[in-house]
Amino acid sequence: MSDMALSTPRPAPKRRSHGSKRTLRIVQVVCVLIIALVMISPLFMLLVASLKDDRFQILADMGSFKAFWVSDPTLNNFVEVGGMSGDLAFGRYLMNSLIILFVTVSSGLVINSMAGFVLAWGRVPGKVVILALVIALYVIPQESIIMPLLIMVSRAGMTDTFTAQILPWVASPLYIFLFYQFFAQLPKELYEAAEMDGASPFRIYRSIFMPLSLPAMATTSILMGIESWNQYLWPVLVTQTAYARPIAVAIGTFFGQDSIFWDRAMAASVLMMLPILAFYIVFQRWFVSSFIGTAVKG
Amino acid sequence: MASVQFRDIRKSFGAQDVIRGVTFDIRDGEFVILVGPSGCGKSTLLRMLAGLEDMTDGDILIGDRVVNDIAPKERDIAMVFQSYALYPHMTVEENMGFALKLEGRPKSAIAEKVRAAADILALGPLIDRLPKALSGGQRQRVAMGRAIVRDPQVFLFDEPLSNLDAKLRVQMRAEIKDLHQRLGTTMVYVTHDQVEAMTMADRIVVMRAGAVEQIGKPLELYDFPANTFVAAFIGSPSMNLLAGSVQDGAFVTASGARLPLPAGASARAVTYGIRPEHMVLSDTGIAAKVVVVEPTGADTHVLLRVGSDDVTLLARDRVDLAPGQTVHLAPDLRRLHLFGADERRIERA
């Protein structure tokens, strides 16, 4: 019987030829390039337009490949935006945005991570219901709660303040859930070991779980930071004067009733993008660094 | 150091009882091992002692103090977890000193304590490393160090060697036993590995399905198992247990094989127990067919078939046997175990 088994010819394994493998690879690369091009082209167009001096030319170039080419680059638009003297200097709008970003993100990290920690590890009655509610809240779009929120802020006398632009967005179901997910997957023994060591729940959060949640903190910082930086509708509604207005709203002033200053709007947009780009570069390395896996088990 | 008392401990999840009235004492300075198959409730019992798990009924005493409602940190105990549970972002020194830091001890006192514990466990050169830079055995030692620095009244170990490879496990077994001899602190240790229990414990508590089956010194359990469960659980390879009945002064198995009995053996016996190491090959005796021969070097395990029952023989010498061959076995009748219909051991008259 074993002889028979040995003599039975085996079907030759199917092998993809070297040529077809290469074709597949080329198709893959071309696809990736096309996708990348589609993603990058608006940004590139923005950068090119910001270097053109004539706002009518920018408009005229828009429909053709000229939109991606500048024959006579100039930084005039940036100089003009920098020296802008409307209700507030451009730098002040930038500062407003930075203040709102910094306070929203830093307080958001603490509040959302604490909420996530309690939901993951706290002895809270009705925890499952609270968690379900948090997830349910996430699907409600921001725009749909904006009117009631506006009434609340206005009744509280907070219109035209930084507080009104920060407070409503500090706690977020998305980030609470993100932290909850992160904390819940940490090993139970870690919590119990700290408990046996004599740590209170707050101490366990502060000394053990929070330092371990750097990847989640980085993700939240980036997402929250971008969200805060790009806020437009809410600041427009909640600010009546330029005092606390962020940069996104300031750019809107280039779009006047009679004319649109495309050149300055483009330069201002580039300037607005720079800090958030720097912010991303600072935090993105945390995305990949995670040393929790090595904590438990040999 | 302190004694520990479990008094009628019960625990149920809904209608399911996981601990069903456990009562026993652990003496001051004793090394007691709770052993049993998965799901027998041994870890639950340990976690209750630690205060990490609530109990449904009963009392736990550490020293003279009932600790039922006392928080884990107030119980003056330390626990070593199966997964080590080291804080990944803290160095060995910080890991070991964390509990003392929480107590508010001065830095110099913490450093001194940590150094002393590190010396006991040969961790001195590793004190500045993060857990990820340590081997499994070293992590295990740090976990023990974290317990030692606290100078607790009772040490708890929850399957601490399960994640280590076989060689390291043997080494750490000796280290833990040595640690107990040096510190003299009460230790409660949970494992599913009966070899660990036999080699380390002062006394073993064998558990099954939430109840204690037998408590005793390792060799007591080996020599006088209280029932068929303990008989099969303690000892490796495990005891041969054959079902049948006593007829005409011999034990007749279901398949008709006749096994010898000592004079005056109880007629109530329905299970015939003989350890693999308490039988020898002989010219006459129980006829058996060789199925598999497994030489380990030091000795040889031979799987045989007696009638329709599988029987293991542990030969201390090398044996020249081939599968299919018929041999004869002579059991040492002084070391025979008989069990009744209630699975309990029948003591000799």
Of A203, A207, A294, the CB nearest to B88: A294
CB B213 within 8 A of CB B230: yes
- B81 and A203 within 8 Å at the Cβ level: the answer is no
pLDDT tier for residue A14 given thresholds of 50, 70 and 90: low
- Three-state DSSP at B338 gives strand
Contact A196 B88 (CB under 8 A): no
**Residue B59 confidence class, pLDDT cut points 50, 70, 90:** very high
Kindly report the number of other CB atoms within 10 A of residue B301's CB atom: 15
Residues A66, A50: Cα–Cα separation, whole Å: 13
Query: Quick check: A291 contacting B, CB < 8 Å?
Result: yes
- pLDDT, one tens digit per residue, over B300-324 is 999 999 999 999 999 988 888 999 9
pLDDT at position A292 is 41
What whole-number distance in Å separates Cα of residue B32 and Cα of residue B24? 11
Q: Reply yes or no on whether the pLDDT at A289 is more than 60.
A: no
Checking if the pLDDT of A296 tops 80, the result is no
Residue carrying the six token digits 């652990």: B26
Are the beta carbons of B72 and A193 separated by less than 8 Å? no
Interface of B with A in 111-130 (CB under 8 A): 130
Any idea where the domains of chain A sit in the sequence? 17-74, 82-294
- The Cα B95–Cα B74 span in angstroms is 20
Using the predicted structure, report yes or no on whether residue A286 has a pLDDT greater than 80: no
Radius of gyration of chain A, Cα coordinates, nearest whole angstrom: 27
Give pLDDT, residue A123. Answer: 86
Q: Do A296 and B86 touch (CB under 8 A)?
A: yes
**Pair type for strands B240-247 and B250-253:** antiparallel
> Biggest alpha carbon distance in chain A?
95
pLDDT above 90 (res B246): yes
- The verdict on A297 touching B (C-beta cutoff 8 Å) is yes
Contact A59, A255 (CB under 8 A): no
For residues A111-126, average pLDDT: 93
Mutation test of the interface with chain B: which of A182, A189, A197, A206, choosing the one with the most B Cβ atoms within 10 A?
A197
Q: Name the average pLDDT for chain B.
A: 93
Q: Does B70 touch chain A (CB under 8 A)?
A: no
Is the pLDDT at A15 greater than 60, yes or no? no
Give the C-alpha separation, A84 to B178, whole Å: 78
Q: Which residue in A182, A196, A213 has the most chain B C-beta atoms within 10 A of its own C-beta, making it the best mutation to test that interface?
A: A196
Cβ of B318 under 8 Å from any chain A Cβ?
A: no
Q: CB–CB of A207 and B98 under 8 A? A: yes
Pick the CATH number of A82-294 from 1.10.3720.10, 1.10.357.10, 3.40.50.150, 3.40.50.10440: 1.10.3720.10
B52 in contact with A, Cβ within 8 Å: yes
B32/B120: higher pLDDT = B32
Rounded CA separation B309/B324 (Å) = 15
A202 — contact with chain B (CB < 8 Å)? no
Cβ-Cβ contacts under 8 Å between A and B: the total is 82
Confidence of residue A1 (pLDDT cuts 50, 70, 90): very low
Taking an 8 Å cut-off on Cβ atoms, the answer to whether A212 and B89 are in contact is yes
Is the pTM here over 0.90, yes or no? Answer: no
Cα of A190 to nearest chain B Cα, Å: 5
Domains of chain B and CATH, by start: 4-231 (3.40.50.300), 237-339 (2.40.50.140)
Whether residue A16 is predicted with pLDDT greater than 80 in this model: the reply is no
Torsional sign, CA B231, B237, B243, B247: negative
Q: Is the pLDDT of residue A86 over 70?
A: no
Partner A contacted by B163 (CB < 8 A): yes
pLDDT tens for each residue of A175-219: 999 999 999 999 999 999 999 999 999 999 999 999 999 888 888
Q: So what's the ipTM on this one? A: 0.84
Judged by CB atoms closer than 8 Å, whether chains meet at B77 and A196 is answered as yes
**pLDDT, tens only, A47-67:** 888 888 887 888 788 788 888
User: Nearest residue on chain A to B84, judged by CA atoms?
Assistant: A296
Instruction: Report residue B344's pLDDT band, with 50, 70 and 90 as the boundaries.
Output: very high
By CA distance, what is A214's nearest residue in B? B89
